[in-house]
Amino acid sequence: MPAEQYAIQTGTHPEVTTAKNIARYREQLSKIGFCYDWDRMVRTCDPDFYKWTQWAFIQMFNSYYDQEADKAKPIAELVKRFEKEDPTWATKTEREQQEILMNYRLAYLADTKVNWCPALGTVLANDEVSEGLSVRGGYPVEQRVMRQWSLRVSAYAQRLLEGLDRIDWSESIKETQRNWIGRSEGAEMLFQIKGLDEAFTIFTTRADTVFGVTFMVLAPESEYVQKVVTAEQQAEVEKYLQWVKTRTERERIADRKVTGVFAGSYAVNPLTNKEIPIYISDYVLAGYGTGAIMAVPAHDSRDYAFAKHFGLPIIPLIEGADVSNESFDAKEGVMMNSGFLNGMQVKDAIAAMKAYIEKEGIGRVKVNYRLRDAIFSRQRYWGEPFPVYYKNGMPYMLPEECLPLQLPEVDKFLPTETGEPPLGNARVWAWDTEHKQVVDKSLIDNKSVFPLELCTMPGFAGSSAYYLRYMDNHNNEALVSKEANNYWQQVDLYLGGSEHATGHLIYSRFWNKFLFDLGYICQDEPFTKLINQGMIQGRSNFVYRYIGEGATGNLFVSFNLIENPEYKDKVQPIHVDVNIVHNDLLDVQAFRSWLPEYKNAQFIYSDGSTDEDNPYIGQATPKQYICGWAVEKMSKSMFNVVNPDDIVAKYGADTLRLYEMFLGPLEMSKPWDTNGIDGVHRFLKKLWNQFENLSDDEPTPDELRSLHKLIKKVTWDIEHFSFNTSIPAFMIAQSELSKCSKKQILKEFAVLLAPYAPHIAEEMFSLCGGVGTVFDAKWPECNEKYLEESNVKYPVQFNGKVRFTIELPKTASREEVEKAVLQDEQTPRFLNGGSPKKIIVVPGKIVNIVV
């Protein structure tokens, strides 16, 4: 998208921009010393790669979800079934047959209400829209109906949900996906419309509350709206519907005021046979359930607010529930006012009512999912073309052997003047079915040459299965060979941001399960283990501009003084470039030359003095201006951006790597504060100095102990992704071994350090006589023999408080330890005249005496 935006602005082909960005990223990754097997590189915009994206799309088009088998199957099997079971099938025209099949295909065309963004000339997915504005660009988005490709992700809802229990992902991201899938068990019920031979279906999770239904509500977009509007109400309803249309998504969400309108008609409560009014309100969403609800104001807070506003009756259904001021939403208590449900617990009442509904044929038990199908068309240029041509308005797939269908050249990357997507600008963009090739559009005759699809695929098309391609990226015969797939199986560890929770990580799982169903791959989940790395946040600094009486806009107050009465509420915090602040002290000269507006900046320093008090600022005893700080997103506008390239240039990649790990646990977000970096840099320098005069002497037991302690720690840390705790271990070992220059020790040290600080470790390894690269060296093994201590230092507690420690042989038995502690000269002091009530000895750990 940025590449396409750039193309629109400058005419530079997105391919050029993308190639440049890839090169830049690769350079940066290399600079930091990341190891990748570049032979396995894939690029989703490369025709050799997107051939398989198109191939997968064709498979989805040619598949349906078999509910009984609970998996995807070839659509040919469904056709066979229709031929066998439906006598009218053969009498239908091809077009009719195709239209029916479209309701089953996993990739299908449908009229969808979409988020249309006029400024971008494109449709956005739900997760690409935020508060009525496009996530990228921030343009207004409106609702519009459009015929688009969709992927039937919803068919996999239950399996996507169940699969979560079998994968080792963070609880937070699994929970996010569970919520996104949104399974709810409930019932669908029919409500007759009075005076019409029509009924509409509602979905409810609270079947037990039917006796308390006092009105119905339809979503403004519901197809039933026109049917239930009476002549008298027509004008008012129209007015309301028009008003709803003008509301942006943002307003609909943010505004919690009750709005709605009476439709004029009544429905009949199937249990009480009472007539209840039908309303239209935008608090009911068209996209969820059936777009219609039965309102139970006593036990649903939104229904309650609506009933209060329109003066509708509220019937409490649970004994003891006070609904005079708010609804009682909890699913607990004993039923009342509910006919045959009276006296039952809510849970039992729900079950009883569901059974009743099915028995009486007024509805059915239903599981509802919030998860919606993914819209798969984009009105953009820079994406994978669909391998699709249109015959009589019906889509047909290109033969698989003709893939990839390459993206055509266009003059401009904008939508056409007639509102077609950018591919409408391509001249050579028609499919010749006889010669099986792309030909000039002027040749379209709708007999053997047909128009090609003008939309392209979205970003997640290429990113959904790329990991499978890593397994076998040079294979021209298959996405991945059986052999390669059986060898690699699935991704062992996926390290990624949590922002992908409801997008990429759902689509990938869907895509993978689909390929699994068709037998192309051997695992139904793509990513065994997933870790969300924390975000590196920015640490901003502030100066405080005086805005009180007599302010010139040029005076800045030190942070430590801003709470003083003369400055309190009279200063305005202003972001200042973190690069001219050191340990929260402002470089005032640099500040004055930073931006022209600060050229004549004056300061009230930390001791309350001003520039005039000391004309020799910056010389003998510099006064200090203290800055405030805050943790915020790293962003240019907050002047807290730190470029890794600059850090590498100044300290080297190894220091950058060590410091980044040192900041804290992998999964945790943390602020980047360059000020602490000297610590790890010093460590590397000190360690490096030990390699000056290397010796071949035999190591002492102490040296071996330090080394093997380190081996044990670092090995454990790596296996547990606890890289931050390794750095202190290295520092401690370095400090213990600071006098050691023995190759035997330092060589192993270098091997341990290699994953953390690869460049310097490689040098160190070589200096110690290591052969080849350190990365091929055998990982050191911890020998417990060197760690054994003959004595244990027991902390001795009295009533849980540590009073002293006592050193005893490791072999001492429980009784011996107890005896030794009681005989210790310090013990009587803490017994305080009393006698030990109980003595707990944990061998090798601790002693606790209860007095």
Among 72, 656, 663, 817, binds RNA (CB under 7 A): 663
Q: Which of residues 673-692 bind RNA (CB under 7 A)?
A: 673, 675-676, 678-680, 682-683, 685-686
Which residue, 430, 415, 332, is CA-closest to 379?
415
Binding positions for RNA, 170-189, rule CB under 7 A: 170-172, 175-176, 179-180, 182, 184, 186
Read off φ and ψ for residue 696, nearest 5 degrees: -100, 15
Measured CA to CA, the distance from residue 197 to residue 200 in angstroms comes to: 10
CA distance 320 to 338: 14
Binding RNA by CB under 7 A: which of 393, 565, 701, 800? 800
Show the site string, 210-249: x = touches RNA by CB under 7 A, - = not: ---------x------------------------------
716 counts as binding RNA under rule CB under 7 A = yes
Report CA dihedral (80, 86, 87, 93) to the nearest 10 degrees: -70
Among 282, 472, 660, 703, indicate the residue that binds RNA (CB under 7 A).
282
155-163, 168-176, 264-272, 761-769 -> range binding RNA (CB under 7 A): 168-176
Considering the complex, what minimum distance in angstroms separates the CB of residue 676 from RNA? Answer: 4
Q: How far is the CB of 696 from RNA (least distance, A)?
A: 26
Touching RNA, residues 487-526 (CB under 7 A) = 498-499, 501-502
Q: Which is nearer to RNA, 152 or 299 (CB)?
A: 299
Taking the C-alpha atoms of residue 80 and residue 370, their distance in angstroms, rounded to an integer, is 32
The interface with RNA within residues 542-601 (CB under 7 A) comprises 582-583, 587
108, 266, 413, 662: which one contacts RNA (CB under 7 A)? 662
Nearer to RNA, 62 or 112 (CB): 112
For residue 846, state whether it binds RNA (rule: CB under 7 A). Answer: yes
| 462-465 own/partner pairs: CB under 8 Å, 24+ apart | 462/44, 462/45, 462/49, 462/50, 462/53, 462/384, 463/44, 463/504, 463/507, 463/508, 464/504, 464/507, 464/508, 464/510, 464/511, 464/512, 465/52, 465/53, 465/56, 465/508, 465/511, 465/512, 465/515, 465/526
Quick note: the x/- pattern for RNA over 110-139, rule CB under 7 A, is ----------------xx------------
Residue 252 touches RNA, criterion: CB under 7 A: yes
CB of 727 to RNA, least distance (A): 6
Which is closer to RNA, CB of 313 or CB of 553? 313
Within residues 826-845, the interface with RNA by CB under 7 A covers 838, 840, 842, 845
Q: Does 259 bind RNA (CB under 7 A)?
A: yes
Position 603 contacts RNA (CB under 7 A): no
CA–CA distance, 109 with 113 (Å, rounded to integer): 13
What is the nearest approach in angstroms of RNA to the Cβ of residue 366? 10
Q: How far apart are the first and last CA of the chain?
A: 72
For the CB of residue 176, give the shortest distance to RNA in the complex, in Å: 4
Cβ-Cβ contacts under 8 Å for 620 (sequence gap 6 or more): none
Q: Which of residues 293-312 bind RNA (CB under 7 A)?
A: 293-294, 300, 302
Closer by beta carbon to RNA, 174 or else 469: 174
State how far the Cα of 501 lies from the Cα of 488, in Å rounded to an integer: 24
Q: Supply φ then ψ for residue 605, to 5 degrees.
A: -80, 175
* Omega before residue 404 within 30° of 0, cis: yes
Does 664 participate in binding RNA (rule CB under 7 A)? yes
Contacting range for RNA; rule: CB under 7 A; set: 198-206, 404-412, 418-426, 561-569: 198-206
Interaction of residue 289 with RNA, rule CB under 7 A = yes
- The yes or no reply on residue 283 touching RNA (CB under 7 A) is yes
Q: Helices (DSSP H) in 724-813: which residue ranges?
A: 726-736, 743-753, 758-767
3-state secondary structure 576-599: ECHHHEECCEECHHHHHHHCHHHC
How many angstroms separate the CA atoms of 657 and 666, rounded? 12
Q: Closer CB to RNA, residue 501 or residue 808?
A: 501
CA 424 → CA 9, 45, 376, 416, 432, distances in Å? 19, 20, 18, 6, 17
Nearer to RNA, 653 or 847 (CB): 847
**Smallest distance from RNA to CB 186, Å:** 5
Q: How far is CA 90 from CA 61, 80, 96, 97, 224, in A?
A: 22, 11, 10, 9, 34
Nearest 5°: phi and psi at 388? -135, 135
In the 8-state DSSP scheme, what is residue 521?
S
Site string for RNA, 722-741 (x = CB under 7 A): x-xx-xx--xx--x------
Is position 670 an interface residue for RNA (rule: CB under 7 A)? yes
Amino acid at 595: L
